Amino acid sequence: MSSFKSFIFFLLVFVTNINCQVSKRFFRKDYTYLLSTDNFYKIHTVPRTWGEAKVRCAMEGAKLFYPQDANEAEAVIRLSTETQPFNLMFVGFTKAIAKDVFETIDGQPLDDVYKNWAPGEPNEQDEQEVCVVSDRDGRLNDERCDRKYPFICKKMFADLEWNFDCDMPNKDYKFEQQFRKCYKFHLTPKNWTEASTTCSAEQSYLAIIESQAEADYLVKMTADAPKNKVTGDFMSGAVHLGFHNKNSEGWKTVKGVPLSES
C-alpha cells in the first residue's frame, strides 16, 4: 500500500442509478435556486483568496458570482444575509487580465453589468488591488487578490446540462454498465489530498477498486488517457485511488471502510 503515496494522476467514481427523473430546477443539493434570477447559488463561508475562490467554483461546475444587474445583486445579498451573513465577499470582477479595466471573469466590462462602487472607490491605494469585493449593501471596492474573503458560486440555469446516465450535472463523467459506476480521468496531476478535495467538490470520490475486473478496467483507462494533454509532470502512469492510511489507523477507503472489510 505504501506505493499509493507516489501516485500522481487520479480517477473519480460516482455510483449511479439509471433512468432517473430530474427536477428542472435542480443543479446540486448544496446550491440554492432563486426564482427571481432563475439561477443557482452556493455561499462559501470559508475565506479564500480570489484565485482560490474562482478555482473552487470551477471545481463545482459553477463560476465565481458577480451581479449581472442591481436586481440580482439585491436577491443574492438577501440570500446571504438570511443564511450566512458576512460583511465583505469576493465577486467575479478583476482587472488582472485587462490592465486598468475591471472586467468580469468571462471578459465583460464591469460597466456593462453592474457598476455600484462605494463612495471613493475604486481608489487604487495599492497597485495590487486588482480584484473586487462587495459589501452587504452591494457596493463594490477594489481589493488585493491575495487577501481572503467568503464568496458565492453561481450556476446559470441556461448553462445547465444534465448527465442522465450518472444522475449529476457533470457531463465529463462516463457510465460503465459493467460496474454501474461513472468515471472521470483527470489530467492535471495533484497530490492525494488535492485529488480527494477535487472529487468531493464534484460530488464524487476517488476510485475504490472492488474487483479484479474493475482494476483491469482502471488500468486500461489509465493506459488510454491522452498523455499529450497532461499538464505538469507525468510519473509512471500512476493514479491516485480512494485508499488512505491517515493518522496511522490502518488502510481504509475514502468511505471509512477498512481494507480488510472492503
Taking only the tens of pLDDT, the chain with its 262 residues reads: 334 333 445 566 655 444 444 445 689 999 999 999 999 999 999 999 999 999 999 999 999 999 999 999 999 999 998 888 889 999 999 997 767 789 999 999 999 999 999 999 998 777 789 999 999 999 999 999 999 999 999 999 988 888 999 988 888 999 999 999 999 998 888 899 999 999 999 989 999 999 999 999 999 998 888 877 766 655 556 789 999 988 787 888 988 888 876 5
- Would strands 131-135 and 103-104 be described as parallel, antiparallel, or unpaired? unpaired
**Whole-angstrom distance, CA of residue 36 vs CA of residue 223:** 47
Which residue(s) pair with 32 in the sheet? 41
My answer on whether 136 and 75 are in the same domain is yes
8 found inside a domain: yes
At which of 158, 189, 220 does a domain end?
A: 158
**Whole-angstrom distance, CA of residue 148 vs CA of residue 194:** 19
| Model pTM above 0.95 | no
If one counts the domains in the chain, the total is 2
258 found inside a domain: no
* Residues spanned by the domain of 82: 32-158
**Whole-angstrom distance, CA of residue 66 vs CA of residue 230:** 31
My answer on whether 133 and 217 are in the same domain is no
26 found inside a domain: no
My answer on whether 47 and 131 are in the same domain is yes
